[in-house]
Structure 1
Amino acid sequence: MPKTVVVALGGNTFIADATHQSVPDQYAAAERACQHLLPLLRDPEVRLVITHGNGPQVGFILLRSEIAAAALHQVPLDSCVADTQGALGYQLERALRNEIRRQALAREPAAVVTLVLVDRDDPAFRNPTKPIGSFLTREKAEERRRDNGWDVVEDAGRGWRRVVASPVPKAILGLEAVRALLDAGFVVIAAGGGGIAVVEDEHGDISGASAVVDKDLASSLLARQLGAETLIITTNVEKVLLDYGRPDQRPVDVLTIEEAKRYLADGHFKSGSMQPKIEAVIQFLEGGGRDAIIADPEHLEAALEGHGGTRFVR
């Protein structure tokens, strides 16, 4: 029987390193990501949805906006998310089309601009926690806090970053469009950057929110609403690590929901990196999903075969 698989690509999937951040570099990275998806693309029984992060790219737009502030209007955060969703969706669709042609596969991709509804009273708007943009030194972060009013935090030992509100996703708007495309046989690219955050007023009208929805939580919600069997989250480590960053850190092959909850409560996963991924997996499995995988793109095929990445089960 056909099964639905949602693959969430990290925003840093498109940024190989600090010296490869240009648009052509990002497209080359998108091509590599699509090559890692070939086992899923080749399986005729897999209905595939691809989501992706956009943190570095949103940061680039905001920085350009600041530099050009004397001559041009500022770009609102919801428009930044929309811009990156379109641009990265284009890069992924282009890369998929080329790879599908080269492999002579009977597939066709389609990117969908996706809005995600959040609660306008979500406490996240009063407590920004979502890292966006590139990593900064402590000195540069303090300069941004002082001169630009940014909220900045140290991010999982990797440097300092700007943080913005990250409300909980409540509903994927356009869900039926995604479902219809899947039913028609498309590989669907959706909910890029966690979706464009919107809020609803008392009349039911929606407007853009100054927020970034966590890509993994939005992907989990999308997977649950589609009734997907499998959720795959790619990151920059092959497997989930317990005691990450310590000399005794250790990889994990398989975790049950209860084990994942216990390690989460014990503080093994940092809020700016692995924590939302673990939370997304738990929500997916408790919401009816069959299994989930966290792995880096290079080990995705091995993870699908059962000897790579970290697999989560109920």
Structure 2
Amino acid sequence: MDERQLRVLRELGELGSVTAVAEAMRVTPSAISQQLRLLQRSIPVPLTERDGRRLVLTAAGQALADAAIGVETALARARHTVDAFVERPDGAVSVAAFHSGAAAFFPLLLRRLRPPGSPVLSLHDEDVAQHDFPPLTRHYDLVIAHRLDHAPPWPRTATATALLREPLDVALPVDHPLAAKPRLTPRDVADQPWITVHDGFPLLATIEAVSAAAGRRVEIAHRINEIAVVAEVVAAGGGVALMPRWTSRPHPAVVLRPLDGIHAHRHIDVLHRPERAARRAVRTVLTELRHTAETVRSRGGAAGDPPQ
């Protein structure tokens, strides 16, 4: 049995005829009769009987019709509860992000959502390969992810909202001979020892592009995913690296220089399953993430853009 069938039975008990029920529910009498037949199949005793030309409820039918009132009342309460949950402005919202994205976005997001009545954030760091970001939307309301310019687009199972298209610069120690140059080419840096990410992570493809453009294979000295650790290793003379211009924290012993001749950018997007955005709190956090992205861009531009 289902809600519609129970409602038909209840209306039949109150209105007294299939025709009257059909008019009340704005369907045909045959549709009402079909619903009654389907309901009867799930009940072991007769629910209706003929009284002359009229179809009336049996005692069992009347008992079930009375119970239907409670069912409809419970369902109405459930719908109201769902509506309240969906429209609640201060609902809980879980947000996951890769490490440098988390460092850049999470503090700003927390400050923007500090006023009473704002969504309640649950923040998580997830450092995964590009193809593993979309599955995270099963576990989190919003997932801040990154991919390179020419990487495959995100699958249609996830809705993507663009936040930033961020340049990737070459990170050098401040006293490195190449630090005096305002811009670098693949040939400039191909002979340097490199610090890069583990296999499967977005930045690695750009290192391979540097190698191809320079016409020789680059030496990968260290594999480190955490940007803050990369900066420390660069500062200590461990090699050069690609670092994001806006979301990496400035290091006093490291300079960033643009890399010419390579499409060295990454997209930072926020992914979510479409149904998650039905909640008002999730939509609020999405809006604040877009505002936060503008702050990240402006702060990075003011503090860390390399000389032109």
Q: Which bracket does the TM-score occupy, shorter chain normalised?
A: under 0.3
Which protein shows a greater Rg?
A: 2
